[in-house]
Amino acid sequence: MKTSIPQEELLRSGHQACQGCASTVAMRYALKGLGRRTIIVVPACCWTVISGAAPNSSLDVPLLHAPFASAAATACGVKAGLQARGDEETTVMVWAGDGSTYDIGLQSWSGAAERGEDMLYVCYDNEAYMNTGVQRSGATPMGVWTMTTPDGNRRPKKDLDALLEAHHISYAATASIAYPEDFVRKFAKARAIKGFRFIRVFSPCPPGWKYDPDKTVDLARLAVLTGVFPLYEIEAGAFRLNLAPAKLKPLAEYLAPQGRYKGLDPEALAREQGSVTERWQRLLARKAAS
């Protein structure tokens, strides 16, 4: 089967991720879209470990570790250094989890976005602080078990996409490993655009979400087909819905394989289904108006 995905591999074997980790597949696809002229900045997150300890690395591009709260600020400095050397071609990418993005490092990327810094910020969203043992983050959905919400999270997930759009950035997109060509295309597009770009990647986590590791891609696909994680992009204010199923699958199909949702009662499930449906209808209306 022919594919438009580049063949060059910039993520080596031997990384230290958990079995079934979606973020490793995401990194592989991201680098296929960005190419070798990429520098990665990683704050405290799973990828602090996954990339490997010096002098070894699973990545075939430069990687710089940064404190939890300052990845975007660090990336700004890296980009300024490249520009001082006359290098306008190398892409500087922050690769951060949701803990850093939604919470601890929010002010850093918000400042970079407001200033229009020339960088790509990627959040691999696994909906909790997974590296430190599955604690709730601002990305954790309502009703989900974590070590700090043993009876289920009582607050809705922060609407990061709306917050991003309010910054009027050059490019914003969502991406899923279940749709690799769409994924790689978006990263290649982000490489070619100047200014602040942001891609939120859906990243299922077997130990944190309590599902079998071989179901990672299936769950990623179900998240899209149930409307939990719509695929879209916003370029210079123009909205585009990349995949619009004729009819969404029931939310229960996505939740059932995940042990973190076992405490969700039928009433709570109905509320969550209503929330997903309402948001999907808003996206369809926006698609029709664009």
Compute the half-sphere exposure of residue 17: CA atoms within 13 Å on the CB side of its CA: 25
Q: Is the pLDDT of residue 2 over 90?
A: no
**Residue 209's closest CA among 114, 143, 159?**
143
C-alpha to C-alpha distance for 232 and 244, rounded to whole angstroms:
10
pLDDT digits (tens, 9 = 90+) for 89-147: 999 999 999 999 999 999 999 999 999 999 999 999 999 999 999 999 999 999 999 99
Q: How many residues does the chain have?
A: 290
Q: Does the global pTM surpass 0.85? A: yes
Domain extent listing, the chain = 22-289
28: tokens are: 């592989």
201 strand-pairing partners: 124, 175
CATH architecture of 22-289: 3-Layer(aba) Sandwich (3.40)
What torsion do the CA atoms of 274, 275, 276, 279 make, to the nearest 10 degrees? 120
The arithmetic mean of pLDDT across residues 154-160, rounded, is 97
**Residue 158's closest CA among 173, 137, 172, 143?**
137
Helices (H) and strands (E) in the chain, counts: 11, 8
pLDDT digits (tens, 9 = 90+) for 222-264: 999 999 999 999 999 999 999 999 999 999 999 999 999 999 9
Answer yes or no: are the C-beta atoms of 272 and 278 closer than 8 Å. no
**Residue 14's closest CA among 66, 50, 55?**
50
